[in-house]
Amino acid sequence: MPGPRGPLGLGNLYQYLPGIGRYSFDELHRSGEDKYAQYGSIVRETMVPGQNIVWLYDPADIATVLDDRTPGIYPSRRSHTALEKYRKDRPNVYRTAGLLPTNGIEWWKIRSELQKGLSSPQSVRNFLPATDKITREFVTRIHHMLKDSTQDAQNADHVDGVLMEDFMPAISRLNLELICLLAFDVRLNSFSEEQMEPNSLSSRLMESAETTNSCILPTDQGFQLWRYFETPTYRRLRKAQAFMEKTAVELVSEKLLYFNEDQQRLASGEHGSKSLMEEYLRNPNLELNDIIGMAADLLLAGVHTTSYTLAFALYHLGRHATTVQERLYQEAKAILPDPRGSRIGAAVLGSEASYCRAVLKETFRLNPISVGVGRILNRDHVLGGYQVPRGTVVVTQNMISCRQEAYFRDAGKFIPERWVRETREPVNPHLVLPFGHGMRSCIARRLAEQSMLVLLLRLVRSFEVEWAGTVPMDVKTKLINQPDQPIRLRFKLRPK
Ligand code: HEM
């Protein structure tokens, strides 16, 4: 199989070393593109002797791997190996290493229980009123900021808009607030003066999640020296995880403390909805340390994934203000005739937000937060005409394939219309897979989609958003793809 093996077959890892190689772990999409151009639609890269990755670009091969439903065999991934070590070294806190690195039957035992309160359409719908409420508060906050900065509240509607130098911290705080409310029934008040301080709980949580994510790729690849002694990258991961773990333990303990009281109030109908942790604590098949592991995973995976996706969506909307954004505004206006008074209900979100869904899907086509999906082959496969043995690590290259003219007309252009029923184009279903695929796909997919739809509808209903940053925006691959620049947006109030 074609692909780089490095000098004398000693591996290609040196190409990723800063200042030496032509690739970078921060720009995996570029190396993915380069390998596609050089070697074609299937590439075998030897990182270090004995450690190969097979990169797949052809949707037919991607389907072969992701649709493998051999009975009794569970989809496996090789990722978060240093996180696995960190958790396995602490058996007093964790029973398993959690969903992200665990494989096999052990993975399914926890996944099948943890997904109960999180993945079903009904549980996600239950979270909608709280999501809509917090998002409304967020939009009101922007309103006030706009009015304050225009000084004259009366004329606020007529000014040329207010420039936000970087909208990313605000979106991240919103998503942290949402995940803590839905998971723990806790309001962090992430926008309070106290929480805006760099040493506050919310600031440190966001930073720790980002640090952990940035340590995953460098620790997964190469010689994994951190298995023998504490490397600087492992130390950064350990410290970040220690903080997230402490927070997860505190939040779960607090839930446990009031668990019985909450159950009584729930039974009397006084307490509105259950948080995810309550759901887990009531599950006799879950142990407390499974729940702590999941709480830490939610804090790790729940904030930047949705925040970066929203940032990419706002970039595209801001660049297409008179076309795409205008059409989305018309949809948002129909759903929210009174931007402050109207509520977003589940039925409306399901049936009337089709253009907003198309905007999100097109955002995922061009800017997925992960370059593709990783799997360890559970059996031998023929891929691209080559025999690939069981145990091989394969990574699909959906992000690169989704940008090819071979698969999409005007592939570089942002055209949500390709996903709208009346104008839909035929597309291979294994190309746009932002949440992965099959039983191992993202456990929070519906929840994430719901909160992103609510924010996009509410934002575009109230403001005209214009992109004021550099074009085109590129990404840095820190395990998840992050915008390579601040989210510089100009907001203009829309008429009521
Ligand atoms: C834009 C939003 C998000 C995207 C695009 C996304 C994407 C993904 C992807 C690609 C995977 C790997 C799937 C596979 O291997 O087939 C994954 C797994 C996972 N995601 Fe998400 N995610 C998002 C939001 C979230 C949120 C909000 C949470 C938590 C609240 C979350 C928690 C997880 C967990 C725990 C896993 C591991 C699942 C397992 O291995 O069983 N994700 N996600």
- Answer yes or no: is pLDDT of 151 > 90: no
SS3 label, residue 52: strand
Q: Give the number of the atom of ligand 1 that is nearest the alpha carbon of residue 294.
A: 35
Q: Is residue 2 part of a domain?
A: no
Query: What pLDDT, on a 0 to 100 scale, did the predictor assign at position 25?
Result: 87
Q: What are phi and psi of 91, to 5 degrees?
A: -65, -15
Query: Which among 105, 174, 181, 305 is the best mutation to test ligand 1's pocket, defined by most ligand atoms within 8 Å of the CB?
Result: 305
CATH for 127? 1.10.630.10
- 47-70 pLDDT, tens per residue? 999 889 999 999 999 999 999 888
Structure tokens at 397: 């290259």
Q: Whose CA is nearest to atom 28 of ligand 1?
A: 302
Q: What are phi and psi of 195, to 5 degrees?
A: -75, -20
Q: Is 442 annotated as a binding residue?
A: yes
Q: Whose CA is nearest to atom 26 of ligand 1?
A: 302
Q: Give the number of the atom of ligand 1 that is nearest the alpha carbon of residue 370.
A: 10
Residues 168-182: what's their mean pLDDT?
95
Q: 42, 10 in Cβ contact below 8 A?
A: no
Give the residues surrounding ligand 1 with Cβ less than 6 Å away.
77, 99-100, 111, 179, 297-298, 301-302, 305-306, 309, 369-370, 373, 434-437, 440-444, 448
Structure tokens at 25: 């772990």
Query: Which among 178, 432, 435 is the best mutation to test ligand 1's pocket, defined by most ligand atoms within 8 Å of the CB?
Result: 435
Q: Is residue 420 part of a domain?
A: yes
Closest to 57 (Cα-Cα) out of 404, 368, 442: 404
Q: 135, 459 in Cβ contact below 8 A?
A: no
Query: What pLDDT, on a 0 to 100 scale, did the predictor assign at position 445?
Result: 97
- Answer yes or no: is pLDDT of 156 > 60: no
216/80 Cα distance (integer angstroms): 6
For residue 275, the CA-to-ligand 1 centroid distance in Å is: 19
- Answer yes or no: is pLDDT of 4 > 90: yes
Query: Which among 110, 307, 442 is the best mutation to test ligand 1's pocket, defined by most ligand atoms within 8 Å of the CB?
Result: 442
Q: Is residue 297 part of a domain?
A: yes
117 confidence band (pLDDT: 50, 70, 90): confident
| Side chain identity at residue 146, one-letter code | L
Q: Is residue 7 part of a domain?
A: no
268 confidence band (pLDDT: 50, 70, 90): low
Q: What pTM, to 2 d.p., does this model score?
A: 0.94
Total domains, the chain: 1
Structure tokens at 58: 């052809």
259 confidence band (pLDDT: 50, 70, 90): confident
Q: Give the number of the atom of ligand 1 that is nearest the alpha carbon of residue 300.
A: 29
Q: What is the mean pLDDT of the chain?
A: 92
Q: Is residue 3 part of a domain?
A: no
- Answer yes or no: is pLDDT of 270 > 70: no
Structural domain of 380 = 13-493
Query: What pLDDT, on a 0 to 100 scale, did the predictor assign at position 154?
Result: 55
